[in-house]
A and B are shown apart, each in its own frame.
Chain A
Amino acid sequence: MPLPLITGLIVLATLAVVGVVAYLIDQTVDRD
């Protein structure tokens, strides 16, 4: 797999995980 592709895919996957984790943390508190 070419280097830019694997790098880009891992970066996007990490951002997706960060988004999901931040959402889940946010859900643990009440909406204000």
Chain B
Amino acid sequence: MSAIASLGDLAHLHLLLNHAPTVGTTIAVGLLVLAFIRKSDDLATVALELSFGVALVTLPVFFTGLAAQAALADAEGVSAGAITSHEDAALFSFVMMAITGVVSWVAIWQRRRSSRPTRGTVIAVFVLSCFTLTAMARTALLGGAIRHPEITSSDGAAEAAGGWLTTKAVAGFVTQHEWVWPTSEALHFLGMSLMFGTLLIVSLRLMGGMKSMSFAAAHRLLPFGVLGFAINVVTGMLFFIAAPEQYVDNVSFHWKVVLLELMGACFLLLTVYDRLWALPAGGVPPRMARVLAVSTLVAAVGVMYFGRMLPFIGNAF
């Protein structure tokens, strides 16, 4: 299977995408402040949706970052220390962003289901977003320092970051304990099952099956899917950080990430789409719902297929 992107292309993509988490989170925080001032539920919902979307985009930002690192190997005038500092800051920011994304989704789901205010969850998203924004801004500064000497202080911005949440520490944890990889694989499959099972039921309803069930009833299952997604982000990141060379230049992984983004977008639409929510028991789903359901299943099956094909189509293991 021919490659869809070289390491150089991915490095370029990293330079394009890496602004999304910082700028996107800034806009989301601004919208949330405005929503609080204007007491607008609609504005808050938009901010939450944006926050989830930004979290989704942060996945390829992290992955392409490691491709950029590989592309820059042996390049002149580039400090390996500066890259490592940026990478470790990026890992912390990614974790914060992922937590913010999941809590944002829970707030969107609650808002859809309940007439009760979900102020607590929205405030939690706001606080998490502020921390995430700080972490992302630091990551961006350290990333800029790799190629922008004008923003580097005289003693260099590439101070070594310590602590347990560094890519080196995580990679060491995965490779030095023989139980971590098989356990993560088992959890990755269970997460996948939770996610696919949920999406299958919801999609089948939207394709005209199980008509006796209202969409609201199927919607209630969605948190299981998101928890499966969260398990797979954590375990997937463990694999990726422990052995990035197996993934960054692997065409199967590239397709997997593309379809993962599509699946995440479908997940968000399934949660917020007004016309679906109104679908009663016995109701015939609108045509767009069928398109969404098919897209969701194609993306989900594709993610699983390209994940399984990592060693066969791609170059892993």
**Which A residue's beta carbon lies closest to that of B234?**
A14
The reply to whether A29 and B110 form a contact with Cβ atoms under 8 Å apart is yes
Q: Smallest distance from the beta carbon of A1 to chain B beta carbons, Å?
A: 8
The reply to whether A28 and B231 form a contact with Cβ atoms under 8 Å apart is no
Give the contacting residue for B227; candidates A10, A21, A28, A29; CB below 8 A: A21
The reply to whether B187 and A26 form a contact with Cβ atoms under 8 Å apart is no
Q: Evaluate whether A25 and B183 lie within 8 angstroms (CB atoms) in the complex, with A18-B194, A32-B216 already known.
A: no
In the complex the two chains form, what is the Cα distance from A8 to B214 in whole Å?
37
Within 8 Å CB of B110, what residues of A?
25, 28-29
The reply to whether A15 and B182 form a contact with Cβ atoms under 8 Å apart is no
In the complex the two chains form, what is the Cα distance from A29 to B106 in whole Å?
11
Within 8 Å CB of B224, what residues of A?
18, 22
The reply to whether B114 and A29 form a contact with Cβ atoms under 8 Å apart is yes
The reply to whether A11 and B187 form a contact with Cβ atoms under 8 Å apart is yes
In the complex the two chains form, what is the Cα distance from A6 to B181 in whole Å?
12
Q: Smallest distance from the beta carbon of B41 to chain A beta carbons, Å?
A: 15
The reply to whether B227 and A18 form a contact with Cβ atoms under 8 Å apart is yes
In the complex the two chains form, what is the Cα distance from A7 to B116 in whole Å?
41
In the complex the two chains form, what is the Cα distance from A18 to B195 in whole Å?
12
The reply to whether B179 and A7 form a contact with Cβ atoms under 8 Å apart is yes
Q: Evaluate whether A25 and B106 lie within 8 angstroms (CB atoms) in the complex, with A11-B187, A14-B231, A18-B227 already known.
A: yes
B39 contacts A by Cβ under 8 Å: no
Q: Smallest distance from the beta carbon of B114 to chain A beta carbons, Å?
A: 4
- A interface size (C-beta, 8 A): 16
Interface of A is mostly: helix
In the complex the two chains form, what is the Cα distance from A22 to B226 in whole Å?
9
Q: Evaluate whether A29 and B190 lie within 8 angstroms (CB atoms) in the complex, with A3-B182, A22-B223 already known.
A: no
The reply to whether A6 and B190 form a contact with Cβ atoms under 8 Å apart is no
B97-141, CB under 8 A of A: which get 1 and which 0? 000000000100110011110100100000000000000000000
The reply to whether A3 and B178 form a contact with Cβ atoms under 8 Å apart is yes
B186 contacts A by Cβ under 8 Å: yes
In the complex the two chains form, what is the Cα distance from A25 to B105 in whole Å?
11
Within 8 Å CB of A11, what residues of B?
183, 186-187, 190
Within 8 Å CB of A10, what residues of B?
179, 183, 187
Q: Smallest distance from the beta carbon of B122 to chain A beta carbons, Å?
A: 12
- CB-defined A-B contacts under 8 Å, sample of 12: A3-B179, A6-B179, A6-B183, A7-B179, A14-B231, A15-B190, A18-B224, A28-B110, A28-B114, A28-B118, A29-B109, A32-B220
Besides the known contacts A7-B182, A18-B224, A29-B114, 20 further A-B residue pairs in the complex with CB atoms under 8 A apart? A3-B179, A6-B183, A7-B179, A10-B179, A14-B190, A15-B190, A18-B227, A18-B228, A22-B224, A25-B106, A25-B110, A28-B106, A28-B118, A28-B121, A29-B109, A29-B110, A29-B116, A30-B115, A30-B116, A32-B216
